[in-house]
Chain A
Amino acid sequence: MIDYIQPDYEVVRNKELCIKCKVCVRQCANNVHVYDESRDVLYVDNSKCVNCHRCVTLCPAKALKIVKTDHCFKPSANYTEDIIKDIYRQADTGGVLLSSMGTPKSYPVYWDKILLNASQVTNPSIDPLREPMEIRTFLGRKPEEIRYLPDGSIETEKYPNLELKVPIMFSAMSYGSISKNAHIALARAAEQLGTFYNTGEGGLHEDLYKYGPNTIVQVASGRFGVHPAYLDAGAAIEIKIGQGAKPGIGGHLPGSKIGEEVSRTRMIPMGTDAISPAPHHDIYSIEDLRQLVYSLKEATDYKKPVIVKIAAVHNVAAIASGIARSGADIIAIDGFRGGTGAAPTRIRDNVGIPIELALAAVDTRLREEGIRNNVGLVVAGSVRTSADVVKAIALGADAVYIATPALLAIGCHLCRSCHAGRCNWGIATQVPELVQRLNPDVAYKRLVNLVSAWSHEIMEIMGGMGINSIEALRGNRLMLRGIGLTQKELDILGIRHAGE
């Protein structure tokens, strides 16, 4: 069969610098680099390169670079190179196209069209290095009224809340989609940072139960690895209804990734595909959701907050309103630019709505209905920087979930090949030799660094606004101004245009 698809990238080797140490050969799981002993020559097979930078990063002589090929099709703004190649690919295989991580399409990023305020003259800014700056956040249902205990003191603990030292959590990534070492790194970082990581739907490995106080355990449609000890282990339970990258779609972890440990953790036979159905088969209404929320609360003595995670889709505000009335303590909303370990390309690139609009719509709706205090609001789906975090909180979020930045911190180079299962950085793979490449001792420190850096920046930005607590920033949309947005977009975001 003729292969219509030419390589996307070219590996360029500077022969003057190359010392033929062959680290590139040894480290490329895709076998791009080959050493021919008889000729004493290193050559490359560009067609296998996914542009993950493992060879470039490890090359001690800095002799390698990867460039986008300039081999081209006749230019067309309509039938672009990507579209042509996808059609060839489907003609080859007859299959659904798969992709990983967040959509690369150029949809508007509203974070970048929102500007932040700062104080001048009349309301002085605050120096976070000299004055107290509170970014601790409590997530969950808030009391409706002040109640006094018999001894005259105020009742403070009415509903279970999560206490976050930083308003940033690591979002759900299952053991299976990412490696055990990646999970260990996330768990240890969450513990040190005083925040939470999320198991995803793959259960909790027995070695990670000790991080339970910093773990959110997920219950998804496949119910993998869900049992009483699992629910008891976590600090909160998350019901996953949808994921931003693939709203309306379930999950499919191929049998090749279900080794002994994943199988034991997920409670499914080794080598079988782990298929999460698109819906929860017991949830067809808010009333059904309420039953699951209360089943989980009952199972854990009403001691843990229950999170319901949905994808940002049309009518998200009405859906969130229903969830807020279902007894859930926290709503997590995942925008369509969020990441995934594998999703059908057409779903990932076309379904859902941006998190910024969903967040603003949900927060506004819940306030209008007077039920915003019933729930904590967490947003996910491409929160890329500390500035995005500040904007999210000012739009009304209590906290954010980050996943792609967390993976980037531990070595991901966004080659978007997770679904192939041969992650050269030891993250999105279950191959023991590759998993070994991610030393949690190294990785957790990088995660702690990232989130610490962001919290310093958040405090700096808040200080500039003259705000000294995250409570005063939350839903404070006067701190935001749109730039280059239409009146409709500004209305949905509930912000004014720059200059107003």
Chain B
Amino acid sequence: MKRVYVKEEWCLGCRLCEYWCVYSGSGEKNFPFAFDKGATPPAGIQVEEVGPVHFAVNCRHCDDPLCLKGCISGALSRDGYGAIRIDKTKCVGCHTCIALCPYGCIVSGGDNMPIKKCQLCAGRDYTPQCVSHCPNEAIVFEEE
């Protein structure tokens, strides 16, 4: 399946991917409106940064996903594209998936709130927003 991959060599740590991810998930028409209520990252993609080293990480949509196995409410499932998706109406915010994810790619949405994770912008007819808005083409959407 096509996944989002980040080329560390070209990642600038500008964090634009995080903001476009939030926008993508907001359902708003205009970019700035997605941030009206102070909604900010962490989003489904996050830039990890230590000193001069920085690169974005997001869900690997593992073949054998621990998060899905461990989900106590059945909120996580795999969709037709192969992406692991979250049903926000079912998620109880127990954070079991966060504890299980070996990549640290699931993000808390706050206490008792649904978690946030990359869904590959699935179900929309465009390339993931983090990919199309990366200024240095450091994020790609392709078969491994």
Which residues on A are within 8 Å of B, measured CB to CB? Answer: 16-23, 26-27, 57-58, 60-61, 63, 432-433, 436-437, 439, 441-442
Among A19, A23, A436, A441, point to the contact of B137 (Cβ < 8 A): A441
- Identity of the chain A residue whose Cβ is nearest the Cβ of B49 in the assembled complex: A26
Q: Beyond the given A21-B40, A58-B14, A436-B136, please list 12 additional residue pairs across the A-B interface where CB-CB is below 8 A.
A: A19-B19, A19-B34, A19-B40, A22-B15, A23-B15, A23-B16, A27-B14, A60-B19, A437-B136, A439-B10, A439-B136, A442-B137
Contact B16 A58 (CB under 8 A): yes
- Least CB distance, B87 to chain A, in whole angstroms: 28
Contact B12 A21 (CB under 8 A): no
Which residues of B, 1-20, contact A by the 8 Å Cβ criterion? 9-10, 12-16, 18-20
Contact A436 B12 (CB under 8 A): yes
Among B15, B52, B137, point to the contact of A26 (Cβ < 8 A): B15
Among B31, B52, B136, B138, point to the contact of A61 (Cβ < 8 A): B31
B133 adjacent to chain A (CB < 8 Å): yes
Q: CA–CA, A433 to B23, complex, Å?
A: 27
Assuming the A-B contacts A21-B15, A23-B16, A27-B12, are A60 and B133 also in contact, with contact meaning beta carbons closer than 8 angstroms in the complex?
yes
B141 adjacent to chain A (CB < 8 Å): no
CB-CB under 8 A from B74, the residues of chain A are none
B123 adjacent to chain A (CB < 8 Å): no
Inter-chain contact total with CB atoms closer than 8 Å: 58
Among B9, B16, B138, point to the contact of A21 (Cβ < 8 A): B16
Most buried by B among A432, A439, A441: A439
- Least CB distance, A440 to chain B, in whole angstroms: 10
Which residues on B are within 8 Å of A, measured CB to CB? Answer: 9-10, 12-16, 18-20, 23, 31-32, 34-35, 40, 52, 133, 135-138
Among A16, A23, A61, A436, point to the contact of B10 (Cβ < 8 A): A436
CB-CB under 8 A from B18, the residues of chain A are 21
Contact B19 A21 (CB under 8 A): yes
CB-CB under 8 A from A16, the residues of chain B are 32
CB-CB under 8 A from B136, the residues of chain A are 436-437, 439, 442
- Least CB distance, B39 to chain A, in whole angstroms: 9
CB-CB under 8 A from B52, the residues of chain A are 432-433
- Least CB distance, A185 to chain B, in whole angstroms: 13
Sorted nearest first, the 4 A-B pairs with minimum C-beta distance are: A19-B35, A439-B10, A439-B136, A61-B32
- Least CB distance, B35 to chain A, in whole angstroms: 4
Q: CA–CA, A18 to B15, complex, Å?
A: 15
Q: CA–CA, A22 to B19, complex, Å?
A: 10
- Least CB distance, A136 to chain B, in whole angstroms: 32
25 A–B contacts, CB within 8 A, in A order: A16-B32, A19-B19, A19-B34, A19-B40, A21-B16, A21-B18, A21-B19, A21-B40, A22-B15, A23-B15, A23-B16, A23-B19, A26-B15, A27-B14, A60-B16, A60-B20, A63-B32, A432-B52, A433-B12, A436-B9, A437-B12, A437-B136, A439-B136, A439-B137, A442-B137
Most buried by B among A18, A19, A433: A19
CB-CB under 8 A from A63, the residues of chain B are 32
Q: CA–CA, A21 to B18, complex, Å?
A: 9
- Identity of the chain B residue whose Cβ is nearest the Cβ of A442 in the assembled complex: B137
Most buried by B among A16, A57, A58: A58
